[in-house]
């Protein structure tokens, strides 16, 4: 049988004793199953100690890093991961939008489109349309990924225990699996 030494409502020691040979000095100690030092005792129930704020902060920070990393990796399935590439995509989409609206388009004013004729599409119009379509597709998937990312980070930030964080990460993994399974 296990007995708990209680001081000021907190378990300070747990001993294993033979019920047939219990020491007198421990005869008034309460029986305990899973509780250990640091747990509180209110006279009837044992309550586990609160998680260390520092330990929970570390768990939360690691979870947020994991979420951000997974989202970053997922984004690379839709964009080329090179320095400056994201800005280039934005410039291409802007150029394509202006080109489509320009009825008297001079390709000298649209160097990125001109550079990709015969590569990305057979004509300037088709190159511009590819840029616009890719931009629209990325906005759709980007919005879905950002909703998943921000929503799960918000849940991590209000988690009260490491177990709560584990539940959030499992939910995040499910959400990522669902979105990745739905994208062609």
pLDDT value, residue 183: 60
Residue-wise pLDDT tens for the chain (184 aa)?
Answer: 889 999 889 888 888 888 898 888 888 999 998 888 888 999 889 988 876 777 889 999 999 999 999 999 999 888 888 999 999 999 999 999 999 999 899 999 999 999 999 999 999 999 999 999 999 999 999 999 999 999 999 999 999 988 899 999 999 999 998 887 666 5
pLDDT value, residue 156: 97
Give me the residue label for tokens 């959400």.
175
Taking the CA of residue 66 as centre, how many other CA atoms within 13 Å lie in the half-sphere pointing to its CB? Answer: 16
pLDDT value, residue 120: 97
Taking the CA of residue 166 as centre, how many other CA atoms within 13 Å lie in the half-sphere pointing to its CB? Answer: 3
Question: Rounded to whole angstroms, what are the CA distances from 125 to 6, 94, 102, 119, 128?
Answer: 80, 14, 11, 13, 5
90: DSSP letter: H
Q: Any idea where the domains of the chain sit in the sequence?
A: 2-47, 53-182
pLDDT value, residue 115: 98
19: DSSP letter: G
- Decide: 98 and 128 in contact? Cβ < 8 Å: no
- Decide: 14 and 35 in contact? Cβ < 8 Å: yes
């Amino acid at each position: 049988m296990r007995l708990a030494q209680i001081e000021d409502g907190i378990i300070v020691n747990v001993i294993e004793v033979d019920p047939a040979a219990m020491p007198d000095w421990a005869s008034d100690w309460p029986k305990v199953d899973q509780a250990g030092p640091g747990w509180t005792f209110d006279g009837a129930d044992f309550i586990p100690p609160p998680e260390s704020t520092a330990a929970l902060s570390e768990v939360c920070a690691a979870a947020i890093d994991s979420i951000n990393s997974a989202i970053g990796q997922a984004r690379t399935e839709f964009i080329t991961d090179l320095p400056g590439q994201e800005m280039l995509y934005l410039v291409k989409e802007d150029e394509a939008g202006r080109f489509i609206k320009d009825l008297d388009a001079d390709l000298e004013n649209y160097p990125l489109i001109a550079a990709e004729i015969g590569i990305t599409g057979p004509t300037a119009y088709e190159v511009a349309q590819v840029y616009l379509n890719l931009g629209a597709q990325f906005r759709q998937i980007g919005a879905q990924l950002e909703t998943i990312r921000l929503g799960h980070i918000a849940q991590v930030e209000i988690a009260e225990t490491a177990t709560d964080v584990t539940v959030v990460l499992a939910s995040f993994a499910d959400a990522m699996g669902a979105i990745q399974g739905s994208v062609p």
